[in-house]
């Protein structure tokens, strides 16, 4: 079981997240292989599945037909959950940005060493407090300040419909050493780690 006790991936259809052909075409296969492959270790056991009340993966990483017309590259994984479901921090790190003025809607960016993780379309708003910005979701009991350290599995937001979206979901983006990485590959690596540890 991973941080927050949220990862149970056996029945989630990971092979449907991003088919192999799409992953190879859409992202740098070398980077992804290096990032996901941690043989003989429990590297991913500190990670947390990023959303409670998971329903489905609704849009994979890579090229797709945009719901707004035309083809576009989708730099993340869309994870559907009921509006108001809590979003959890994937990996221990520091909040480097909170924002609510883009297509990403209300969002939080967290850095964890070489990793950057982006959480979009959350409920709540951003406000200025002194020299720092804060994310506030009063109904969800959340108040997060830029510069704040955040443990893995901590609740950092709630699924909403802010920004450019057609339904409630978390858009979860990942970068490793500033290169976009398919979150589906990381979820598969987390699942593989969990399976290995349970043997």
SS3 state of residue 16: helix
3-state helix, strand, coil in the chain (%, to 5): 20, 40, 40
Q: Which domain holds residue 118?
A: 3-197
Q: How many CB atoms lie within 10 A of CB 75?
A: 18
DSSP state of 51: B
Q: Answer for the pair 91, 152: CB distance below 8 angstroms, yes or no.
A: yes
Q: Name residue, tokens 């780690």.
A: 193
- pLDDT of res. 38: 56
Q: Which tokens hold the place of 20? A: 């192999």
DSSP strand pairing (142-145 vs 169-176): unpaired
Closest CA to 82 of 16, 158, 141: 158
- pLDDT of res. 197: 75
Averaged over 144-167, what is the pLDDT?
A: 95
Q: Name residue, tokens 């297509």.
A: 103
Q: How many CB atoms lie within 10 A of CB 189?
A: 18
Averaged over 169-192, what is the pLDDT?
A: 93
Rounded distance, CA 143 to CA 164, Å? Answer: 23
Is residue 44 very low, low, confident or very high in pLDDT (cuts 50, 70, 90)?
Answer: confident
Torsion of CA 183, 49, 94, 157, to 10 degrees: 110
For the domain that residue 84 is a member of, what is the CATH number?
2.70.70.10
User: Does the pLDDT value for residue 27 go beyond 50?
Assistant: no
Q: How many CB atoms lie within 10 A of CB 132?
A: 12
Q: How much of the chain exceeds pLDDT 70, in percent?
A: 78
In degrees and rounded to multiples of 5, residue 2 shows phi and psi of -90, 170
- pLDDT of res. 160: 96
- pLDDT of res. 46: 85
Is residue 186 very low, low, confident or very high in pLDDT (cuts 50, 70, 90)?
Answer: very high
Q: Name the average pLDDT for the chain.
A: 82
User: Does the pLDDT value for residue 25 go beyond 50?
Assistant: no
pTM exceeds 0.75, yes or no: yes
Rounded distance, CA 164 to CA 44, Å? Answer: 31
The count of domains in the chain is 1
pLDDT tens string 58-80: 888 888 777 667 888 879 999 99
């Amino acid at each position: 079981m991973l941080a927050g006790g949220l990862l149970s991936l056996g029945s989630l259809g990971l092979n449907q997240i991003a088919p192999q052909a799409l992953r190879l075409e859409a992202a740098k296969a070398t980077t992804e292989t290096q990032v996901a492959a941690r043989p003989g270790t429990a590297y991913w056991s500190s990670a947390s599945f990023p959303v409670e009340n998971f329903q489905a993966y609704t849009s994979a990483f890579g090229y797709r037909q945009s719901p707004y017309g035309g083809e576009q590259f989708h730099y993340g994984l869309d994870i559907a959950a009921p509006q108001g479901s809590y979003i959890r921090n994937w990996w221990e790190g520091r909040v480097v940005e909170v924002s609510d003025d883009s297509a990403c809607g209300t969002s939080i960016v967290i850095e964890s060493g070489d990793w950057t993780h982006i959480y979009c379309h959350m409920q709540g708003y951003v406000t200025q407090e002194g020299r720092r910005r804060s994310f506030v979701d009063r109904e969800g009991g959340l108040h997060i300040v830029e510069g704040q350290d955040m443990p893995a599995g901590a609740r950092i937001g709630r699924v909403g419909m802010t920004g450019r979206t057609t339904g409630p979901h978390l858009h979860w983006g990942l970068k490793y050493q500033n290169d976009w990485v398919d979150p589906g590959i990381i979820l598969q690596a987390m699942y593989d780690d969990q399976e290995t540890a349970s043997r």
